[in-house]
Chain A
Amino acid sequence: MSGPKYPGFDTLALHAGQSPDPATGARAVPVYQTTSYVFRDSAHAASLFNMERAGHVYSRISNPTVAVLEERVAALEGGVGAIATASGQAALHLAIATLMDAGSHIVASTALYGGSHNLLGYTLKRFGIETTFVSPRDPENFRREIKASTRLLFGETLGNPGLDVLDIPAVSRVAHEAGLPLLVDSTFTTPYLMKPFEHGADLLYHSATKFLGGHGIAIGGVLVDSGRFDWEKSGKFPQLTAPYAGFHGMDFEEESGTRAFLLRARREGLRDFGACMAPMTAFQILQGIETLHLRMPRHVESTRKIVAFLSRHSSVQSVVFPELEGHPDNKIAKRLLPLGCGAVFTFDIKGGRDAGRRFIESLRVFSHLANVGDAKSLVIHPASTTHYRMTDEDLKKAGIGPGTIRLSIGLEDPQDLIDDLDRSLKASQR
């Protein structure tokens, strides 16, 4: 026997979760565009429904194409498994709905995607789940807001759009000392730049719409469980550790140990809320993941060139990027993100809101739209789009000013991007 060796990231990105199709030998992942699956006989059907045999019953619960994506992302993240969802927002909702009832409480970072802020700050309140938002800069802020009803700590690996770097080791310690799991949104970093489970996170999700897909053609999310959080020991999650009448009296933790969270999330969450991923979407996102390890270094390399260009531009007031020495999270970024801080960052243009509008409307290569993580370079003005529901005070807490511009650097020739920015910055000052 030789020593143990895991396959490398690049190999997993291409192969994990898929064997050549047993029916046809197809090497590419087939799109199983089917709603349902024929049972061998009545006994087989009963065994599948009762979880005595593994397999697929109905594509809202599981689908062979979607399962490849789920296993592949779990492999890249080092989790026990994953569930693909209709969107990143659906993944966040699935995590919360699996762990909480009315009366539960979340402590979340203020530096969140606007959609997540809406869900936590407004929509979930209607269902009795409250959230306290805290600045992620000091992990002790999370500890101070934990109360008896708290069930989750939540933040983004790189806060959107202020790029606060969540100190996952420190925040996870706070969470674990209180018997709570830490959930992180890992969309901006992808498993190529950071594996949050290695730093102490317990659950993570991606908006797979962004860098995982990378092509801007499919909306999807993936929720991944590390399997390391001990729900039984915590004692705060009867959803996973007590018999559940909604699934034949199953005690999910007793039944499956490390798989308890995903088991309930799939068997209840997908069954009842139904925010599953379509097989074609899974196929499209898989095409992106196959080149993730090639795309991310290029995203990072181009971003660094553009950050350097903007940092010395006379029309730019400031650039917010954790790799810059002046960024408050620079030291944490060096520790947690040695391969780079991604390809999304913000800068403030001189001249405020009007200059920002002129700048955006002068761009030719960058596309003005509400997305990030595309192969194409993107630009947006958060105060009037992704974060428009937030008050000025909340905007400030999230590190956004009225003239803040967010860029997502794509895979074009970086010099073309710099030329586009330079020309538009000049136009903005006229």
Chain B
Amino acid sequence: MNLQVDGKKAFAYAAAHEFEPAKPTVVFLHGAGLDHSWWGLQSRYFGYHGRNVLALDLPGHGRSEGPPIGTIEAMAAWVKKILDEKRIAAAALVGHSMGALVALEFAARYPEQAERIALIGVGYPMKVTDAFLEAAKRNDPTAYDMSTIWGHAPQVPLGANPNPGMWMYGDTLARLGRLAPGVLHSALAACNAYDGGIEAAGKLRCPVLFILGGRDVMTPARNAEALIKAIKAPARVQVRTSGHSLMAEAPDATLDALVEFIQ
């Protein structure tokens, strides 16, 4: 689904369905350097089970026109423009990593439009190492290596992919390889600079679900504790064997948790 935001092309995967205003909507928000297809299995499920799906490509990512947006707050405002354009009164938001920060900030700023939020592979503060940021700033391929290796559980390269025949590292590297220069750095810098997480968490009025990977190297599960403590009665699912890329590493567990939370 092609959209326009501030005169620029934006894309949302809608699981081959027309948007129906009468249906409830689930918005998916990807992480730094990724795109809507990262949610392939989960977004497709909701699209075929009674929901409108908007799996967004954030600006500069996937099929959405750049430039990338430099702050989490501005990304949340951009998401609101999409919801407003589609006249969506309230939606469930599902965010991964950077996308989880965007969902958190969105729900704090626009509580009436956040029916519920699921935060996957999230930590706060989402600090990015200097080496990672510097490599991304130089558009150095080692930034893609860091994103790939730290973005999966340590056993992933030596284990089986739940998606038959696919090589998770190769898939991640291929996606990152399609990014325009500067996009990954912009996204990482936005995560690194975001300092409104605790304040946002304190403002939440909607149900919140955390889905965390027990072997997450990028945002270890313990790094979500500050947010969890700041939120009244959050739900939590920890997938013991998964790393940061829960949608790919543990697609069924992730989907099951989302279905229970959203449906």
Q: Does B261 contact A (CB under 8 A)?
A: no
Among B129, B142, B165, the one with the most A-chain Cβ atoms within 10 Å of its Cβ is: B165
**Beyond A16-B167, A227-B171, is A53–B16 a contact (Cβ under 8 Å)?**
no
Shortest distance from the beta carbon of A364 to any chain B beta carbon, whole Å: 43
Tier of interface size on chain A: 35 or more
* Pairwise interchain contact B40-A256, C-beta atoms closer than 8 A: yes
Contact of A74 among B13, B63, B170, B252 (CB under 8 A): B170
A108-135: which have CB < 8 Å to B?
A: none
Shortest distance from the beta carbon of B132 to any chain A beta carbon, whole Å: 9
Shortest distance from the beta carbon of B88 to any chain A beta carbon, whole Å: 21
Residues in A with CB closer than 8 Å to B170 are 74-75, 78-81, 226-227
* Pairwise interchain contact B159-A56, C-beta atoms closer than 8 A: no
B159's closest neighbor in chain A, by CB? A19
Contact of A6 among B48, B129, B149, B150 (CB under 8 A): B149
Shortest distance from the beta carbon of B152 to any chain A beta carbon, whole Å: 11
* Pairwise interchain contact B45-A47, C-beta atoms closer than 8 A: yes
Render A69-84 as a binary contact track against B, CB cut-off 8 A, 1 for contact.
0110011001111111
Q: Does B78 contact A (CB under 8 A)?
A: no
Shortest distance from the beta carbon of B242 to any chain A beta carbon, whole Å: 13
Render B144-162 as a binary contact track against A, CB cut-off 8 A, 1 for contact.
0110111000010111111
* Pairwise interchain contact B45-A258, C-beta atoms closer than 8 A: no
A262 to B164, CA, bound (A): 11
* Pairwise interchain contact A255-B149, C-beta atoms closer than 8 A: no
Tier of interface size on chain B: 35 or more
A331-354: which have CB < 8 Å to B?
A: none
Among A7-15, A296-304, A397-405, the stretch in contact with B: A7-15
**Beyond A74-B170, A228-B177, A255-B37, is A81–B157 a contact (Cβ under 8 Å)?**
no
* Pairwise interchain contact B157-A52, C-beta atoms closer than 8 A: no
Q: Does B216 contact A (CB under 8 A)?
A: no
Among A63, A83, A251, A254, the one with the most B-chain Cβ atoms within 10 Å of its Cβ is: A254
Q: Does B35 contact A (CB under 8 A)?
A: yes
Q: Does B131 contact A (CB under 8 A)?
A: yes
* Pairwise interchain contact A228-B174, C-beta atoms closer than 8 A: yes
Shortest distance from the beta carbon of A80 to any chain B beta carbon, whole Å: 4
* Pairwise interchain contact A51-B41, C-beta atoms closer than 8 A: yes
* Pairwise interchain contact A80-B171, C-beta atoms closer than 8 A: yes
Shortest distance from the beta carbon of B84 to any chain A beta carbon, whole Å: 24
Shortest distance from the beta carbon of B57 to any chain A beta carbon, whole Å: 10
Q: Does B178 contact A (CB under 8 A)?
A: yes
Q: Does B62 contact A (CB under 8 A)?
A: yes
* Pairwise interchain contact A5-B44, C-beta atoms closer than 8 A: no
* Pairwise interchain contact A55-B162, C-beta atoms closer than 8 A: yes
Q: Does B255 contact A (CB under 8 A)?
A: yes
Shortest distance from the beta carbon of B234 to any chain A beta carbon, whole Å: 26
Q: Does A1 contact B (CB under 8 A)?
A: yes
Residues in B with CB closer than 8 Å to A97 are none
Shortest distance from the beta carbon of B236 to any chain A beta carbon, whole Å: 23
B163's closest neighbor in chain A, by CB? A54
Having A51-B40, A56-B164, one finds 10 other A-B pairs with CB under 8 Å, namely A3-B131, A7-B158, A17-B167, A19-B159, A54-B162, A63-B164, A67-B161, A74-B170, A81-B163, A82-B165
- Which residue numbers of A lie inside 8 Å of B, CB to CB? 1, 3-7, 11-12, 15-19, 47, 50-56, 62-64, 66-68, 70-71, 74-75, 78-84, 226-228, 230, 232, 243, 248-251, 254-259, 262, 266
